[in-house]
Amino acid sequence: MVEVKKKTGESNEGLVRRFIRKIQSSGKLIQVKKKQFRQPTLNKRKVRLQAIRREELKKEKELLRKTGKLDESPYSRNPKIKIKK
């Protein structure tokens, strides 16, 4: 834990500046950010279900492409589905 005491004649801004510097040098801020944005590990079941879902979507997209219902533009990353009437 980082602790900073106000010195005599020190302004509040100076105290805050010194506190921020001390936190950055201690490395606590980096640890907190890593913990905040860390992705939780998925269990085997979820990983498997995600892989199955990706394969289903790939097959569905391929079927739409073969039937001509998928509008494929060479400049588009996300192809659009055409509605034929």
CA 2 to mean position of chain CA atoms: 29
- Residue 19 belongs to some domain of the structure: no
Domain of 51, in residue numbers: 44-81
5 part of a folded domain = no
- Asked if residue 52 belongs to a domain, the reply is yes
- Classify residue 3: in a domain, yes or no: no
Q: How many domains does the chain have?
A: 1
What are the mean pLDDT values of the chain's consecutive 10-residue runs (85 residues total)? 88 93 88 84 93 94 84 62 57
User: Does 72 reside within a domain?
Assistant: yes
Predicted local confidence at residue 45, as pLDDT:
95
Residue 48, pLDDT score: 96
HEC-encoded secondary structure of 29-73: HHHHHHHHHCCCCCCHHHHHHHHHHHHHHHHHHHHHHHHCCEECC
In a domain, 23, yes or no: no
